Amino acid sequence: MLRDDITGTTVAEGRGRVVLQVLPALETGGVERGTLDIAGALAARGDTALVASAGGAMAHRLARLGARHVELPLHRKGLLSLWRNARRLEALIRAEGVDLVHARSRAPAWSALLAARRTGVPFVTTFHGTYNFRMPPKRAYNAVMTKGDRVIAISEFIARHILANYPLDTDRLRVVPRGVDLGQFDPGAVSRDRMVALATKWRLPDGVPVVMLPGRLTRWKGQAVLIEALARLRGREFCCVLVGSDQGRTGYRRELEKLVVGRKLADRVFISDDCRDMPAAYMLADVVVSASTDPEAFGRIASEAQAMGRPLVASAHGGVPEQVLEGTTTALVRPGDADDLARGLDWALSLDHAARAEVFAAGQAQARHFSKELMCQRTLAVYDELLDRDA
């Protein structure tokens, strides 16, 4: 038997399996990063990792991980496209000797479900969000994510959501929290040069505490609530950076810019586009904020901030509370409440050196419970339940 250092699992020599993950595309996002992480973990333990999608900016990374990408139009949602994709996936499963299929999004999941049932291979789904289901047909469309032989929820919050809204036997449900790469999000790995370069790019004033909200510019991420909260702070020095692309939401960006001016914060609040060095960004931050007004399915920022030893102020809903140490690393606040968010900011900005050292140590310890390595180990264990690896 061999032991894989990445996943912590034992692997019988010559017993590699073929696992196919399917998703719409590989552009950017948490679903895509998780797909690549699992592909790399599969390849590292001697399995064959296949990923089928319409392609995208992240597809080329698979080869470096020892995995292989198969380009299929899985982003298409029409009934005819779903049927055609089912036939394509069935052919791929048979040609490659696929042992298990893992679907990570609804449209590809419908095609993958049909293909898996036709070929008799195990089928796994990951439920990544709450998904809108105001209309009954939408709920039926979403329900494909509960059709897996195993259904992975990315947080306890999502597990509760599934059980409250869809018929699912609990013996098929597994909770596997999303994971943070603790090799990348490691304070000791961030050089001073990287921090200086980013501080210069952002034109941060010297010696002024930095409040940072990472997240694309979209209303539910709560940038406007943060601006209102900052306007309520009295006698506090700070500057604030909103880190994230507007992704074409120029109207919302202009709204935020107008709000900053209206609250007399134009010299203290800045909007930055996407940052390519988020570990350095966290190191520059004295306070990290997650002000989402809608629940985050998981909320990776919480574990990233803790891994980097930064105090966090976060909305008390979704998957965030289950990741953090309230009152030690994190102030949890009422979602959408600028007054309560200001209270949380005041707590974080008032921490002295000793208290920040406690946040640093406690946050790093807590983040280890939400590492990429644990996510991979737990996901591969779900696969092995169905593959009966030791048989």
Task: Show the domains of the chain with their CATH numbers.
Answer: 2-179+371-387 (3.40.50.2000), 187-369 (3.40.50.2000)
Q: What is the pLDDT of residues 251-295, one digit of tens each?
A: 999 999 999 999 999 999 999 987 899 999 999 999 999 999 999
**8 A C-beta contact, residue 122 and residue 115:** no
Among the listed residues 178, 131, 170, the one whose alpha carbon sits nearest the alpha carbon of residue 151:
170
Query: Which pLDDT score is estimated for 249?
Result: 80
The residues with which 315 forms a beta bridge, in sequence order, are 333
Cα dihedral 16/18/21/25 (nearest 10): 110
Helix axes 250-262, 223-232, angle to 10 degrees: 0
**Intervals of the chain under pLDDT 70:** 1-15, 389-391
Length of the chain: 391
Query: Which pLDDT score is estimated for 139?
Result: 87
253-to-49, 265, 270 alpha-carbon distances in Å: 40, 15, 11
Label the pairing between strands 239-243 and 150-153. unpaired
CA angle 223, 281, 289 (to 5 degrees): 35
| Strand spans (E) along 250-371 | 269-272, 287-290, 312-315, 330-333
157-to-129, 145, 237, 296, 305 alpha-carbon distances in Å: 10, 16, 36, 9, 20
Among the listed residues 348, 303, 318, 383, the one whose alpha carbon sits nearest the alpha carbon of residue 21:
383
What does the alpha-carbon distance between residue 248 and residue 245 come to, in Å, rounded to a whole number?
8
Query: Which pLDDT score is estimated for 389?
Result: 53
Label the pairing between strands 239-243 and 210-214. parallel
Q: What is the pLDDT of residues 289-333, one digit of tens each?
A: 999 999 999 999 999 999 999 999 999 999 999 999 999 999 999
- Give CA 137 to chain center in angstroms: 27
Cβ within 8 Å of residue 145, ≥6 positions away: 103, 106, 109, 125, 126, 127, 131, 151
Query: Which pLDDT score is estimated for 11?
Result: 37
pTM (2 d.p.): 0.89
Encoding tokens for residue 195? 């921090």
- 3-state SS assignment for residue 191: coil
Query: Which pLDDT score is estimated for 144?
Result: 95
Helix axes 372-387, 30-44, angle to 10 degrees: 70
Query: Which pLDDT score is estimated for 99?
Result: 97
Among the listed residues 295, 306, 369, 308, the one whose alpha carbon sits nearest the alpha carbon of residue 335:
295
